[in-house]
Homo-oligomer: A and B are copies of this chain.
Amino acid sequence: MNAEIICVGTEILLGNIVNTNAAFIAERISRLGIECYNQCVVGDNMDRCIAQLKDSSSRSDIIILSGGLGPTEDDITKEAVAKFLRLPLVEDEASRKSIEAYFAKRGKEPTENNWKQALLPKGAKAVPNDNGTAPGIIIETKNCKYILLPGPPIELEAMFDSQIMPYLRGLGAGAIFSRTVKIVGVGESEAETMIKDMIDAQTNPTIATYAKTAEVHIRVTAFGSDEKEARKLVKPVVKELKSRFGNNVYAAEEEVSLEQSVVELLATNKMSLSTVESCTGGMISSMIVNIPGASDVLKCAFVTYSNKAKRKLVGVKKGTLDKYGAVSKQTATEMAKGGAETAKSDVCIAVTGLAGPGGATDTKPVGLVYIGCCIKGEVRVREFHFSGDRTKIRTLSAKNALILARECILEYISKVDFG
How many A residues, CB 8 Å from partner? 111
Between A and B, 13 residue pairs with Cβ closer than 8 Å are: A12-B23, A14-B26, A14-B36, A15-B27, A37-B42, A38-B41, A38-B42, A108-B187, A130-B387, A131-B388, A289-B305, A295-B306, A298-B305
Judged by a CB distance under 8 angstroms, whether A122 is at the interface is no
Q: Which residues of B contact A305 (CB under 8 A)?
A: 285, 289, 294-295, 298, 300-301
Q: Which residues of B contact A105 (CB under 8 A)?
A: 367, 385, 387
In the bound complex, CA of A295 to CA of B303 (Å)? 11
Judged by a CB distance under 8 angstroms, whether A270 is at the interface is no
Whether A286 contacts B286 in the complex (CB less than 8 A), given A12-B39, A18-B19, A300-B302, comes out as yes
- What's the dominant secondary structure at chain A's contact region? mixed
In the bound complex, CA of A19 to CA of B180 (Å)? 19
In the assembled complex, how far is the CB of residue A203 from the closest CB belonging to chain B, in whole angstroms? 15
Judged by a CB distance under 8 angstroms, whether A271 is at the interface is no
Query: Which positions in A face B, CB cutoff 8 Å?
Result: 10-20, 22-28, 30, 36-45, 48, 52, 55, 70-74, 102, 105-108, 110-111, 113-114, 130-131, 152, 154, 158, 178, 180, 187-190, 192-193, 199, 208-211, 213, 219, 221, 254, 275, 277, 279-286, 288-290, 292, 294-295, 298-306, 308-309, 312-313, 343, 356-358, 367, 385, 387-392, 394-395
| Cβ-defined contact, A74 with B208, below 8 A | yes
Q: Which residues of B contact A208 (CB under 8 A)?
A: 10-11, 16, 44, 74
In the bound complex, CA of A348 to CA of B18 (Å)? 34
In the assembled complex, how far is the CB of residue A168 from the closest CB belonging to chain B, in whole angstroms? 14
In the assembled complex, how far is the CB of residue A156 from the closest CB belonging to chain B, in whole angstroms? 12
Whether A15 contacts B11 in the complex (CB less than 8 A), given A189-B111, A284-B282, A289-B305, comes out as no
In the bound complex, CA of A113 to CA of B190 (Å)? 9
| Cβ-defined contact, B26 with A37, below 8 A | no
